[in-house]
C-alpha cells in the first residue's frame, strides 16, 4: 500500500535531478528485478544512461524514509535544485515498467510525483531495464530513443563482432524468467535474422522468477523450470531475470552436474574476444584488454 507513495517520491526526485542537469532526461524503472512477482520497486537512471549519481543516493534514501508530508517537503527542499529550477530548465523523466501486475499503478504514482514538482514524463510502457537506460542516453544524445532503434542497434553490434553462425549448430536456449525479456527477444530476433538462432522458454505462461531466471539458476545451480537434463544436456542455456538486466549461462554434460557461467566469466570471455578483434584489425598481438571486476 505504501509503494505508490514511494514511486511518487522517486518521480519527484528524478524530475529534480533532470532539472539540475539542465533539463537532460533521467529515467525511472518500476521493477523488483530478480525478486518474486509480489515485490516491486524503483531503479533510477542518470542522464548518461548510468545509475543515479552516488551523491544523490542519500537524498533518495532520506526522501523514501520521510514519515509524513512535511518531511517529504523538507527532503525535497534539501535537493540541490528546486521546483523553480524545473520550471526554468524543464525536468523530463522517461518511465518504464516490467510485467508485474502492480507496475501500472506504481507508474501512475511516479507520474503524479513528476507532475507535482513541475516536471514532465514520457511513459515508455513495458520495457526491460537495459532498454530504459538506453532510451535515456539516446534521447539526451539527440538520437531516436525507440524500441525499434534499440533492437537495430543491438542486432547491428552483435553482427559486427560475433562470428557467423555455423550451419548445424542448435539454437541457443533462453530462459526468459516469465518476464519482459521474452517481449524483447521477439523484437530482437526479427533483426538478428540468421546471425543467431534461439529458442525461448518461460515466456510468460508461468510465474515471474519462480523457479526460473538468472537469480534462481545462479543460486541453485539447477535446471530452471521448462528445462531438464533428459532433453537439454549439452546445450547452452542463457538465463535472464525478470527485468532482463541479469544474464548467466548454464550447461551440463550428459549425466553431469549443471555448470554456471556467471558475469565474471562472461566478462572475461568478452574481453578475450574483443582483444582478438582489435589485434586482427591492428595486424599485431600488442593490444591487451582488461576487465575490472567489483564486489557490486
> What number of CA atoms fall less than 13 Å from residue 264's CA on the CB side?
6
From the CB of residue 232, how many other CB atoms can be counted at a distance below 10 Å? 17
Rg (CA), the chain: 21
Q: Which residues, including other chains, have CB under 8 Å from residue 249's CB and lie 6 or more apart?
A: 236, 237, 238, 239, 260, 261, 266
> What length does the chain have?
296
| Nearest-angstrom CA–CA distance, 185 and 189 | 6
Cell of 11: 518521480
Which residues are catalytically annotated? 33
User: DSSP assignment of 209-256, as one string?
Assistant: TTT-SHHHHHHH-SPPTT--HHHHTT--EEEE-TTS--EEEEE--TTS
Amino acid at each position: 500500500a505504501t509503494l505508490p507513495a514511494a514511486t511518487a517520491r522517486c518521480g519527484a526526485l528524478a524530475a529534480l535531478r533532470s532539472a539540475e542537469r539542465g533539463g537532460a532526461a533521467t529515467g525511472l524503472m518500476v521493477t523488483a528485478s530478480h525478486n518474486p512477482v509480489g515485490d516491486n520497486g524503483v531503479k533510477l537512471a542518470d542522464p548518461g544512461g548510468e545509475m543515479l549519481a552516488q551523491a544523490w543516493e542519500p537524498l533518495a534514501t532520506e526522501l523514501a524514509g520521510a514519515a509524513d508530508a512535511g518531511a517529504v517537503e523538507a527532503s525535497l527542499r534539501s535537493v540541490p535544485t528546486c521546483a523553480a529550477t524545473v520550471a526554468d530548465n524543464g525536468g523530463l523523466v522517461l518511465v518504464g515498467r516490467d510485467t508485474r501486475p502492480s507496475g501500472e499503478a506504481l507508474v501512475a504514482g511516479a507520474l503524479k510525483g513528476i507532475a507535482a514538482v513541475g516536471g514532465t514524463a514520457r511513459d515508455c510502457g513495458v520495457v526491460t531495464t537495459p532498454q530504459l537506460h538506453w532510451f535515456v542516453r539516446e534521447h539526451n544524445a539527440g538520437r531516436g530513443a525507440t524500441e525499434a532503434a534499440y533492437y537495430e542497434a543491438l542486432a547491428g553490434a552483435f553482427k559486427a563482432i560475433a562470428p557467423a553462425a555455423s550451419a548445424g549448430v542448435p539454437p541457443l536456449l533462453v530462459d526468459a524468467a516469465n518476464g519482459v525479456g521474452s517481449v524483447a527477444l521477439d523484437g530482437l530476433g526479427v533483426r538478428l535474422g540468421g546471425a543467431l538462432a534461439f529458442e525461448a522458454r518461460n515466456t510468460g505462461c508461468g510465474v515471474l522468477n519462480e523457479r526460473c531466471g538468472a537469480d534462481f539458476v545462479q543460486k541453485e545451480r539447477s535446471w530452471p523450470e521448462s528445462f531438464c537434463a533428459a532433453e537439454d544436456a549439452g546445450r547452452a542455456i542463457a538465463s535472464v531475470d525478470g527485468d532482463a538486466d541479469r544474464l548467466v549461462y548454464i550447461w551440463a554434460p550428459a549425466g553431469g552436474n549443471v555448470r554456471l557461467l556467471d558475469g565474471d566469466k562472461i566478462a572475461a570471455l568478452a574481453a578475450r574476444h574483443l582483444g582478438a578483434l582489435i589485434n586482427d584489425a591492428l595486424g599485431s598481438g600488442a593490444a591487451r584488454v582488461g576487465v575490472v571486476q567489483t564486489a557490486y
